[in-house]
Every structure is written in C-alpha cells, then in structure tokens.
Amino acid sequence: MLASAGRDEDGGDVGNDTMRAWVVGRPAPVDEHPLRLVDRAVPRPNANEVLVRITACGVCRTDLHLAEGDLAPRRPGVVPGHEVVGRIDALGDDVTDHDVGDRVGIPWLRSTCGTCRFCAADAENLCLRPAFTGWDADGGYAQWCTVPAGYAYRLPDAFDDEHAAPLLCAGIIGFRALRRTGLDTTATGDRRLGIYGFGASAHLAAQVALHEGATVHVMTRDPDAQRRALALGCASAQNASDAPPEPLDAAVLFAPVGTLVPPALEALDRGGTLVVAGIHLSDIPTLDYQRHLFQERRIVSTTANTRADGRAFLDAAAEIGIRVTTTPYPFDHADVALADLAHDRVQGAAVLLA
Ligand SMILES: [Zn+2]
Ligand SMILES: [Zn+2]
C-alpha cells in the first residue's frame, strides 16, 4: 500500500496514500473542539521503525492536557494518542526482531538517547533527550503510525485490542506510581494504600495492589467510581478529600488536582509516602510543615516509565488477570471521547476503535 515516498509538510518521509487523523489545531478548552479530523499522508517507517495499522487507541488524560494547552504542544498539528494497539504493516530496513502482522502496543515513551547519565543508570524515564508518542511524534488518533521497533511492546494474548490499549499508559504509569510508594510487595504485615481519583489508571493499579495483599482505600467524588472500587475489593470508598477510615502507609494521587495534596498528606501515617502519578497537576496549596510533612512523610512525583516497568506490568497484568473497564468509541468520535473524559462521563478507560 506504500507506493512511493514523498515528503509531508513537516519534512518527514511519507507514502502517497492518505489516512484520516485527529490533530490538535490550536489548544483550547475541550468544549471549543481543539481536535480536528484531517487527511494526512500515511507515514513511512524510518530504518529503525515499524509502521503499525492501528486497531485501538486509548484516550489518556495527557491527551486532554495537550488539547487544552496544559501541556505545551511540541509540534504543530500533532496527532495525539499513546495507548496504541495495532498490527505491523511494514518494517524499516534495520528491523529484525518483529515481523509484518505482529500485534504490538505503542506507549508514551517513544525513544530515549541511550547514552545520558540517566539512561546509563537504568533510569531511562528521566532521559535528557527523550521523545514521546503523541507529543513529539504523531500518535494513535489515526489509522497508521510509526514507532521505533525497540520501544514497541508485545502484548499478552489474554487481552483483546480494546482492553490492551489502556494498559499501555494508564496501566504502566499507574504501576510505576504504585512501585514509587515503596510498599513492600512481599511483606505479610498491614499495608494500607490510599488511592485518590479512580479513573483508568487507578482502577488498574488498585487491582495490582489488591493482588499483592494491600488494603486499599479509595477517595473519589464520583459515586459510580466508588461503587466500582468496592466491587473490585477495595476496603472503603469515600469522597475525594475525606479522611480514610485508617492512617495510610502510602497513597497515590491519580486525580490531577493539587488541592488534594494536603488532605492526602494528612491521611498518611508516620513515614508514609504520597506519590503523584500524573504529568500535570493543578497548583498545590500552601503546606503546613507540622500538619502535612513532619514525621518523615514524603511526596514524590512519577515521570514516565522505563521499558522494564512496561514489561513488568504487562506480565503482571496477564498473570493477575486484571480486568480492564473500557468505554469504547468509534474513531470518528475522538472529540466526544475527549470531552467525556474531561467531564467525568467515562467508565474506566475510553478507547477509540478503528
Ligand atoms: Zn538518555
Ligand atoms: Zn497517558
């Protein structure tokens, strides 16, 4: 299907065939429709890349931050989407470890430099020269996209395309955030985990924590999400800023809401850790040292993930039999999906289906 190479407006190699893609025009509040559906040339893979025909793409809150301008666009007219599932359609000349027809997943972390001090120290999530899918390069709100072969994941057979998509960011980042709490997964004693916000990422991380024996308390304003949390086996569910019924050894803040930081810190026991999971957080109010931080309570952030995190999570998801709650949308309704996410109208993870 790729007849001959041309050049697109960004200077990249493209085929002559066209596809449909959603792009971020001018960032604006989601109700002003910042996404536009356009015709684009089907991309051509570079030597180290594979071309993927997309069957499903998750809608992540980061896409919303990008569309609304909370995350500054890194290139004009970028195609969002970084929870991409599809089949390989073509291989770059140097690709040897994939075949045409293979099912792969394309995540947020698109490439790293491999040589900076963070890459050298097994912390490629902190790479000084990283690239991200759907931000630096076109992502999955389209019919095709490319990815460097070394950054595409093989996906467990246990998940169909729709249910595999949310694993690729919501799942992996939530898993890294859970590990950043420092909760000992092998301990037999009490491990009390708080989860603030209960969307796509939280509902997956909660299942890992429950499987590992943690007692999980959920704080969310959404009554339906509270019910889903209890149905999964969480010990309690209450409003977003309410105190959990017991002190927490650790908590993860999934909601991008800085005003939840003080109540979450206050809910921690001595020595507890609050992990912020998102790439964007609204302003954190002034903290009171005695009330929120003394007794060696800590607050830490989560920045992307390593490929090792991704492989560990995908293996765990298949082994645990994680149940992925999705709300599917036809590809043509990407703007509706994004608006529904903004207005808390999505159960679990929104997924665009080709
Ligand atoms: Zn690096
Ligand atoms: Zn994401």
pLDDT at 3 over 70: no
pLDDT at 18 over 70: yes
Q: How many angstroms separate the CA atoms of 324 and 163, rounded?
A: 6
Q: Which ligand is nearest to the CA of 128?
A: 1
Note the pLDDT of residue 16: 64
| Mean pLDDT, the chain, whole residue set | 93
Contact criterion met (CB below 8 Å) for 25 and 127? no
158: which residues sit within 8 A by CB, 6+ positions away? 317, 318, 321
C-alpha 341 to ligand 2 mean position (Å): 13
Q: How many angstroms separate the CA atoms of 134 and 123, rounded?
A: 22
pTM, 2 dp:
0.91
Band of residue 6 on the pLDDT scale cut at 50, 70, 90: very low
pLDDT tens-place string over residues 68-121:
998 988 989 999 999 999 999 999 999 999 999 999 999 999 999 999 999 999
Q: Going edge to edge, which strands form the sheet with 298-301?
A: 236-238, 215-219, 192-196, 248-253, 268-276, 298-301
C-alpha 219 to ligand 2 mean position (Å): 21
CA dist list (Å): 291 to 79, 264, 276, 294: 44, 11, 19, 7
**Residue 143 in tokens:** 């019919």
Contact criterion met (CB below 8 Å) for 277 and 251? no
- Residue 340 region, left (φ>0) first, then alpha (ψ -120 to 50), else beta? alpha
C-alpha 117 to ligand 1 mean position (Å): 7
Contact criterion met (CB below 8 Å) for 24 and 67? yes
C-alpha 155 to ligand 1 mean position (Å): 25
Q: Which ligand is nearest to the CA of 117?
A: 1
221: which residues sit within 8 A by CB, 6+ positions away? 239, 240
pLDDT at 1 over 70: no
Q: Which ligand is nearest to the CA of 71?
A: 2
**Residue 32 in tokens:** 């002003």
C-alpha 129 to ligand 1 mean position (Å): 6
pLDDT tens-place string over residues 166-212:
999 999 999 999 999 999 877 667 799 999 999 999 999 999 999 99
152: which residues sit within 8 A by CB, 6+ positions away? 50, 52, 98, 104, 105, 106
Task: List, as ranges, residues with CB under 5 A of the ion ligand 1.
Answer: 112-113, 116, 119, 127
Q: Which ligand is nearest to the CA of 200?
A: 2
C-alpha 19 to ligand 1 mean position (Å): 33
Orientation angle between helical segments 200-211 and 170-180, nearest 10 degrees: 50
